[in-house]
Amino acid sequence: MTYLFVLALRSAWNRRLTLGFTLLAIALSVTLLLTIERLRVDARASFVQAVSGTDLVVGARGSPLQLILYAVFRIGSATQEMSWASAEAIAQHPAVAWTLPLALGDSHRDYPVLGAPRDYFRLLRHGDGEPLRFAEGVPYAGLFEVVLGAEVAERLGYRLGDRLILAHGGGHLAPEHADKPFTVVGILARTGTPIDRTLHVSLEAIEAIHLDWQGGAPIPGLTIPPELVGKFDLTPKSVTAVLVGLKSRAQVFAMQRWVQSYPDEPLMAVLPGVTLDQLWEIMAVAERSLLAVSALVAGVGLIGLVAVILAGLNERRRELAILRSVGAGPRRLMLLLALEGAVLTLLAIALGLALSHLLVLLVGPWLASQYGVWLRIAWPTAGQWLWLAAVFLVGLAASLVPAWRAYRLSLADGLTPQV
């Protein structure tokens, strides 16, 4: 009995080339299945990680999704502004560790301009809690200085010391703040988040370039030259949103209630993760089609397994006849074939798992920097285990087909296969 397994091993070794390719085919489909699933899970997580470390996003009351899309991803239409006094009040709240008031609205050649305090570069986290890093230069210190996101600098070819002009609002025909050019003092390293597409200036700079503006256009007859703006009070009057970090995550709902019931102004506080999850639901269709593709791929691999085993069976009828002649029963031979299929599928799954990890290891850093998708090396999720179990079961079932055929054949052939 045990010798039959020795023979099975040697027989498999004898057919190692064919079996090897079958193994590879299934392993590759498992790799694809696992990697696509990991991409799906981690893309979702990475999306949320564009504001990692931020517990609440506060803005004027309206649509939470719109606020998140505009304030974090710079997508969609501008939201109502909230007053500076409210932003100050939130910053003073005892539960709050830090706040980052953000002012959006201006642009430079279709890239959004963000007004933010200098702390922004120290406090903001992205990805897996990574801080911002400077590829070149330093944060802005002076009024008319700008820090560029990696993509802005790369696409528009700006270097440190270059001067550029901001436009009021967005679009090609937006009027320009031509009288107050900005100097590039810093360029951020790539993050794979919307930060890469943003030009950063101080909140005071945003205030300064709008001193002589009203209702979206320069006030006729009034121009305040750059050297004189320092004489004005440049404290912002309003901001677009405030990113809030809490001392303890446990206080997030209490803080949210506090903001929602703020008496002086209708405000809202949004948990970015929850809102982004809602957004992700909308994209579930795309997600499901990705899954369908990977299921198809796995299916093709398994059909290949059946095909190879069936094709090999005709060649093996002689071998089975010899084994029968020395006393191996048809059921035992059937078991042997089923076992071969099971072991092959298991090995392929293991190899697929290893390949998938290797792929994440090799491609992961590139994906993170280019697309902001942070792939993690991790054990398969519950869903992935289910997929793997399904692959194994189908593989087993697939090898039972030839096993059953071998059983029937070895009975019908008698001793001499009719081949």
Partner 1 sequence: MPLIEIEDLRFAWPGHPPCLQIDRFTLERGEAIFLHGPSGSGKSTLLALLAGVQVALSGRLSIGGTELARLHAPERDRFRVDHVGLIFQQFNLLPYLSVIDNVTLPCRFSSLRRQRALADAGDLKEAAGRLLSRLDLAPALWTRRTTALSVGQQQRVAVARALIGRPDMILADEPTSALDASRQEAFLDLLMQECARSNIGLVFVSHDLRLVSRFRRIEEMTRLNPMARGE
Judged by the rule CB under 8 A, the positions of this chain that interact with partner 1 are: 3, 7, 10-11, 13-14, 318-319, 321-322, 324-332, 411-412, 414-416
Instruction: Give the shortest CB-326-to-partner 1 separation in angstroms.
Output: 5
Instruction: Give the shortest CB-319-to-partner 1 separation in angstroms.
Output: 6
Is residue 55 within 8 A of residue 243, CB to CB? The reply is no
| CB-nearer residue toward partner 1: 13 or 379 | 13
- Run of H or E residues at 368: helix 330-371
CA-CA-CA-CA torsion sign (177, 178, 179, 181): positive
Give 15: exposed, middle or buried? Use CB within 10 Å, 0-12, 13-18, 19+.
middle
Buried/exposed 53-76: b ≥16 CB within 10 Å, e otherwise: ebbbbbbbbeebebbbbbbbbbee
| CB-nearer residue toward partner 1: 320 or 398 | 320
Instruction: Give the shortest CB-414-to-partner 1 separation in angstroms.
Output: 3
Instruction: Give the shortest CB-10-to-partner 1 separation in angstroms.
Output: 5
| CB-nearer residue toward partner 1: 209 or 406 | 406
CA-CA-CA-CA torsion sign (111, 66, 204, 131): negative
Instruction: Give the shortest CB-350-to-partner 1 separation in angstroms.
Output: 25
| CB-nearer residue toward partner 1: 6 or 286 | 6
Instruction: Give the shortest CB-322-to-partner 1 separation in angstroms.
Output: 6
| CB-nearer residue toward partner 1: 284 or 412 | 412
Number of other CB atoms surrounding residue 363 within 10 Å = 14
Distances (CA, A) of 222 to 210, 217, 229: 12, 11, 13
| CB-nearer residue toward partner 1: 285 or 415 | 415
| CB-nearer residue toward partner 1: 104 or 321 | 321
Amino acid type, 171: G
Instruction: Give the shortest CB-332-to-partner 1 separation in angstroms.
Output: 8
What DSSP character marks residue 208? Answer: H
Is residue 233 within 8 A of residue 76, CB to CB? The reply is no
Q: Which residue has the tokens 């539960």?
A: 95
Distance CA 324, CA 360 (A): 48
Instruction: Give the shortest CB-391-to-partner 1 separation in angstroms.
Output: 29
| CB-nearer residue toward partner 1: 157 or 327 | 327
| CB-nearer residue toward partner 1: 286 or 415 | 415
Q: Which residue has the tokens 């404290």?
A: 235
Instruction: Give the shortest CB-396-to-partner 1 separation in angstroms.
Output: 24
Is residue 339 within 8 A of residue 346, CB to CB? The reply is no
* Joined tokens for residue 133: 């890093």
Amino acid type, 6: V
Distance CA 143, CA 294 (A): 53
